Structure 1
Amino acid sequence: MAITAAMVKELRETTGAGMMDAKKALTENDGNMEAAIDWLRTKGLAKAAKKADRVAAEGLIGVQVVDGRGVAIEINSETDFVAKNADFQQLVREITEVAVQSATDVEVLRATELNGKPVSEVLTDAIARIGENLTLRRMHVLDGSTVVSYVHNAAADGMGKIGVLVALNGDADKAQVIGKQFAMHIAATAPVSLSEATLDPTLLARELEVQTAKALEENAASAKPKPDAVIQNNIIPGRMKKFVAENTLLGQAFVMNPDLTVEQAAKDAGVEITGYARVMVGEGIEKKEEDFAAEVAKTLGGN
């Protein structure tokens, strides 16, 4: 497979690797981006890929909680100018209010009535009125004894660039207080899963392959190689334990008190975290590169 400059650029931006290292990684792996990332990590030439850091799209996340039921919806716009528009924000607010009442997923929400029309038609009308393509992209629902919400980079009440929901069991007053802190923690750290038990087995298997290859290669290059039993029984399990701790909410060091894990902080507060959702605008969408002047021209109806 031909390795293009764009592929090398994407891999460099994802991993922070040098140009020649990125090109070699792609060549060695026949252009497979995920395999190239793993190859670079095995060689110690890249940090763990965080794709969410390099993807973006405009719009807002709307969050609302009513009687132990929380929702977070994502509505995308083409430019950030529209995301700051009062008309667009009112649209996000109204659709979020409809969602929390009865919708179970995004398809049901699109068909739910708002002001006498299905939400899908309300969006179509808004597109004509606002002048940009708008998309109702995602909806997350979280139920629990207590559900707490948090919005990071809030554009208005209940909406912003990152929306978080946390469900907890335990005393409601305590859950509200500590739950807000947990929600802020989730916004900052973006855990992959609640606990090791809920981690994707495919992700764990892939990480084990990377850490095994990396440990064996480092050991082979060492002036004082360790016995294979030490590598297999100590070093690799230790690295996997660290990976799980860093990527699971309950295993992470609590940002408010790094001496405690989130799980221990919850226990100390007399509550239990039963679920969470973190939704960031544009997550998983590659944003089309466009200069600022072009964006302004588009917003003003220019060509």
Structure 2
Amino acid sequence: MDVLSDAIAAMRTGRPHSRRQERYAPWGMRFPDSDGAGFHVVLQGSAWLVPAEGEPVAMGPGDVAFLAQGGGYTLAGGLDVPAQEVRPLPDGSWPQLPPSERESGPATVLLCGAYHLDRGRAHPLLSELPEVVHLPSRIGAHRSLRAAVELLGMELEEPQPGSDTIVTSLLDTLLLYILRAWWQTERHGSGHPTGWAAALADPAVGAALRAIHGAPAHPWTVGELGAHGGLSRAAFARRFSALVGEPPLTYLTWWRMITAGRLLREDSAPLRRIAQRAGYTSEFAFAKAFKREYGVAPGQYRKRAS
């Protein structure tokens, strides 16, 4: 798997949810802090997204906003409109609000979605996202994202046989398209990407990250990873540490533990096999490293997650 897909898979838990909302002025919704992430797409009309900290964001038709960090925010038809508190249901989905009164103004049609995330194992690639990722609608930009939004909107507006599965798959796809669009914007917008956008864009570091994620169980050395990008051991180690924020083998160990945690939650294979898939030939060494990272033994972790 590629780095972005892996980062999402490491954090995603449960089932994503989405609703189509139709609002008439005046309208406002206030969303509290949460452990998950959410998105809003304006299909028709306009809206203001007001984060708890930061400047309000004006949204028009086709605009996408992704709330990555779980902070509270308000979504409303105007900056001075009272907002109704919206709290998630026990399954993490947002409730269907009653239709707003058609007092005045044009309808605003929204797609609203939510994802469950395990922030205890957040990949730094996602942790560095801003509070609000705003992707304005531009002709010819992010065509795959627009196509996914259109398909999702159709399924939610007119459910058909199989829609439950289709919507879940489209929500997973939409999340990846949102993040891809953001990092492409970061890479090409200023010409000087920083953080993980720079790490993924760097030929040597990007190649090493893909190698690690493609085969985390391989006994990688710094020299071998550097060779993937055509750099000497020392030059590669310096560049990797500068862009990723930690040495190559430190990141490799951390990613192996994240991989092991996911396998313990999702796979019934024996611990010996999990250890091998995480890059450990010794089950004892694996258990020791796992407990150092998670605070509990692998077997206990699996029981708690089941």
TM-score tier after normalising by the smaller chain length: under 0.3
TM, length-normalised to structure 1 = 0.21
Task: Look at both structures and tell me which one has the larger radius of gyration over its CA atoms.
Answer: 1
Structure with a larger share of its residues in strand: 1
